[in-house]
Amino acid sequence: MAVYNNVVVTDAGIHFLRDISLTDKSLNAGSFVTSAVVINDPKTATGIPNVVQTLLYSLYAGNQKSFVLEAHLTNQGVASSYPLNTVGFYANDGAGNAVLLAVITAQTPDVIPPETAYPINVNFKAIVILDSSGNVTINASFAGYATIEALNEHIMDLISTETGTHGIRFFDNVLQFWNGEAWEDVTRQDLIERVDKLETQVNDLQDFVGYSDTDILGLEADFANSLFKRLSGANEKSAGVDFDDIECFGGRRRCIVADNGVILAYHGENGYTESGALTVALMVGGANYAVGTLVQVMVYQPRFYYRVVPLILEKIIDGKGFHLRKARYYVSSTPQTGFKLHPAFIKNNIEKPYVLIGAYEACLQQGNIYNKNDGQQATETTLKTYKLASIAGAKPASGLTQRLTRRNCGIIAENRGLGWSQEYMAISAATQLLMVVELGGFNTQTLVAMGVVNVADTPNTTNHSKNTGATSSLGNITGAADGTNGLVSVSYRGQENLWGNIWTFVDGCNIWGDGKLKGGVPYIADNDFVESIHDGKYKSAEFTVTNEGGYVSAFGYGNPDLDWLFISSECQGNDQLPIGDYNWFTPDLNGHRISRLGSFWNSGLNGGGFYWTFGNDASYCSRNIGGRVVFVPQ
């Protein structure tokens, strides 16, 4: 087993830290490096020779003059094995100079294997305490990796065939364990606590080694290096047919739905139509639905479970929360240890077996008439006469001729009846998560198609979006309509134009800032949507979004209950990597902003399934923003 010496702060590091403790200078993380070379006097070292790996580490403020340093070492990119004899941590002095802050040396080193052998993790955490006199104290822990062989050896050491010697026995009809001095009865509470502890240990181990179950599918996303790797059941699969036998993917399909929420037919079945009204009579659940019954074209999404495992987090400077630099995303159609039901299937704390998402961008319906040319005149006084619809062959509704704000769009969606609403954040995030696991990455314009993003905005006074239904012939298949890439609609497993064509309002997300929180903090809700609030049912994501627009380079991470969000905390990428999508924010936000997703007909390479804009207040409406209807069963 590997053994490491205590952390040694170098002479240069002590001078540097004392300077910080006695001034207002800040302590900034640099990089940590590894080497096979043994350093005999780390205290006087000013550099690490023969560096093998160079990685980033996280450094964030604790209480007063204390700092928490966290590092995470993998063998990604390691070509051949080497002994981990030395680890050095560099800090930045604010003038562009790197100072060797601290060194760890090995008594008995771990051997870092090549990436091709098996994955490993080595974790390090230290608390740096600087008192008012300039004294420096470091409390640290260093946890090496465990190979499968070592784990098996450890397990065999704990197993014995001799009664009683392995610490547990069944005596006089009572389960007992050996406490080191005597046998004690095992109570029901003991068992519960021990099972809980074992489950935690299993979860921690699976965070490290991943999952091997075929019904768990995952993606490892290294955003810092723009590297993406399929995991578990997704390994060696390709998007499309390979995923069809997984219920949360293959079970996702178009259907037609009556206003009471009853599914009348699925794509390919008798009576299925995308016209908005039945063309043949149907009997479903003992009820008759006559020709002419109005129906909405929806996408049936069965429930699924998920897990997000943060691997590398970096503290957001001058903000809240973390940049998620590397993570593993998992989904499963069945409950798994450590997994949670995705919040798209929990509304007002009630679990749901499925949700229905509009297959098409919404047009408006008044009475029994669908408005297919975006020429309606919905106002605050006439909202109750309209409904949000999802049919083929209609130009999506917008704010061109009416007050289609986000809340008005939501009210119109809710007019259809109990369970109906416009799309909200948890619904959007569920589709986003499925897409990245199946597609094997985040750049949807590259992995699927551009979408309607290269249409000239001339004249710039009207709605240039394409009519819905261009992907009708695709049915439940992911792909693009026939025609020129950039001018035709796209579909992900039945849902047309998640990006491009026209922006979509997304409810359940209010961004709030007080002028000191960069672009603000997201607040999330799944029901009772209200504009311009950040309390009550709206829960803080506990991270600040980026203070300026740009191409996404990192997603934010804060509240573990909202680990499913894909909202950027940093925008220093490009139109290809690591995400390939643009985001807009309000710098130094002082107030509230709303969310819209997906881009519009003239967005070009900015567009994609992760293109968010958080730059408008609740009163905003436009000719290039519409909505999408959703139904959640009661």
Exposed/middle/buried for residue 518 (C-beta within 10 Å: 0-12, 13-18, 19+):
buried
Which three-class secondary structure state does DSSP give residue 426? Answer: helix
Which three-class secondary structure state does DSSP give residue 389? Answer: strand
* Cβ atoms 564, 306 nearer than 8 A: yes
Half-sphere exposure of 161 (CA within 13 A, CB side): 0
Q: How far is the C-alpha of 132 from the C-alpha of 18, rounded, in Å?
A: 9
Average pLDDT on 277-294 reads 96
The residue that leads in pLDDT, 40 or 430, is 430
Per-residue model confidence as pLDDT tens digits over 188-242:
666 666 555 555 555 554 554 456 577 899 999 999 999 999 999 999 999 999 9
- Helix-, strand-, coil-residue percentages of the chain, each rounded to 5: 15, 35, 50
**Does residue 409 surpass a pLDDT of 50?**
yes
Could you write out the three-class secondary structure of 498-553?
A: CCCCCEEEEEEEEEEEECCCCCCEEEECCCCCCCCCCCCCCEECCCCCCCCCEECC
Q: What angle do CA 546, 551, 555 make, to 5 degrees?
A: 50
Per-residue model confidence as pLDDT tens digits over 127-163:
665 555 545 555 544 444 444 344 344 434 433 334 4
Q: Which amino acid is at 143?
A: A
pTM over 0.75: no
Name residue 220's beta-bridge partners. Answer: 229, 328
335 preceded by a cis bond (ω within 30 of 0): no
Per-residue model confidence as pLDDT tens digits over 455-500:
999 999 999 999 999 999 999 999 999 999 999 999 999 999 999 9
Confidence of residue 381 (pLDDT cuts 50, 70, 90): confident
* Cβ atoms 440, 240 nearer than 8 A: no
Domain ranges of the chain: 3-149, 160-209
Confidence of residue 186 (pLDDT cuts 50, 70, 90): confident
- Contacts (Cβ under 8 Å, ≥6 apart) of 634: 261, 418, 419
* Integer CA distances (angstroms), 438 to 136, 230, 345, 460, 611, in order: 49, 9, 20, 37, 19
Running DSSP on this structure, what letter comes out for residue 478? -
Confidence of residue 516 (pLDDT cuts 50, 70, 90): very high
Q: Which amino acid is at 58?
A: S
The residue that leads in pLDDT, 587 or 17, is 587
Question: Cα dihedral sign for 319, 321, 327, 328?
Answer: negative
Q: How far is the C-alpha of 495 from the C-alpha of 360, rounded, in Å?
A: 7
Q: How far is the C-alpha of 355 from the C-alpha of 336, rounded, in Å?
A: 21
Name residue 183's beta-bridge partners. Answer: 178
Q: Which amino acid is at 190?
A: D
Question: What are the counts of helices (DSSP H) followed by strands (DSSP E) for the chain?
Answer: 7, 44
Q: Which amino acid is at 28?
A: N
Q: How far is the C-alpha of 617 from the C-alpha of 627, rounded, in Å?
A: 16
* Cβ atoms 508, 524 nearer than 8 A: yes
Please, what is the average pLDDT of the chain?
87
Alpha carbon 327 to its chain centroid, in Å, reads 9
Average pLDDT on 552-576 reads 95
Alpha carbon 463 to its chain centroid, in Å, reads 32
The structure tokens listed for 147 are 């190979």
Strand order in the sheet with 168-171: 168-171, 174-178, 183-185
Q: Which amino acid is at 91?
A: A
Which three-class secondary structure state does DSSP give residue 595? Answer: strand
Q: How far is the C-alpha of 556 from the C-alpha of 573, rounded, in Å?
A: 15
